[in-house]
Structure 1
Amino acid sequence: MLFMVEMDLSVPLTFDQKEFERLKLTEKNHFQELQRSGKWRHIWRVTGHYANVSIFDVDNNAELHDLLTGLPLYPFMTIKVTPLNRHPSSLHDDDR
């Protein structure tokens, strides 16, 4: 199942900067592993925001929930999830 996930990050200014840098590095490593596995298929930065739009390819809603809540920066995120379906006019066979 494909999902478009919009993530907006908001970290309090009072949050420890060293801890934030550690969390960002941990998240980057975790994210890249999910990309290698094919679960996190695409990511785009939203210009002018500390935000991204991503495409996930997972087996079900529960798997996506577990992946998102397992992100180190999850406590600082506002997330919007949109399920996607293959468009019948798509020329790409991997748009399942």
Structure 2
Amino acid sequence: MEFLVRIQVRLPVDMPEAEKKRLIDAELVAGRRMRADGRIVRIWRVPGRTANVGVWRADDADELHRLLADLPLFPWLDVDVQALASHPIEAADD
């Protein structure tokens, strides 16, 4: 299944800079791993915000939740998920 995933990062303003850097670096490593594994199909930053929009792939919503929960920044993420279904135009390409 594919999912449209919108993520807004909301780190506490009083979080120490060293902790922010550690978390952001760990998030980048995790994201690159998920991209290489095919879990993140495409991802875009939202200009002017600490947010992104991506197409993620998982077997089902439970697996997607596990993937998201494994992200180092998960406790500080607002996540919106929409399951995606095939469109007839895409099916014509198969």
Structure 1 residue 92 displacement after superposition: 4.6
Structure 1 residue 12 displacement after superposition: 1.3
Q: Where do 1:53-92 residues align within 5 Å?
A: 53-90=53-90, 92=93
Gaps of 5+ in 1: none
Gaps of 5+ in 2: none
- TM-score, normalised to structure 2's length? 0.93
- TM-score, normalised to structure 1's length? 0.92
Counterpart code for 1:42: R
User: What's the counterpart of residue 6 of structure 2?
Assistant: 6
User: What's the counterpart of residue 51 of structure 2?
Assistant: 51
User: What's the counterpart of residue 28 of structure 1?
Assistant: 28
Structure 1 residue 13 displacement after superposition: 1.0
Structure 1 residue 10 displacement after superposition: 1.0
Structure 1 residue runs of 4 or more that deviate by more than 6 Å after TM superposition: none
User: What's the counterpart of residue 38 of structure 2?
Assistant: 38
Deviations 1:39-90 (A, max 9, x none): 1111001111110001111111111000001100011110100000111112
Aligned-residue CA RMSD (Å): 1.1
Measured at CA, do residues 86 and 26 of structure 1 come closer, stay the same or move farther in structure 2, by a change above 3 Å?
same
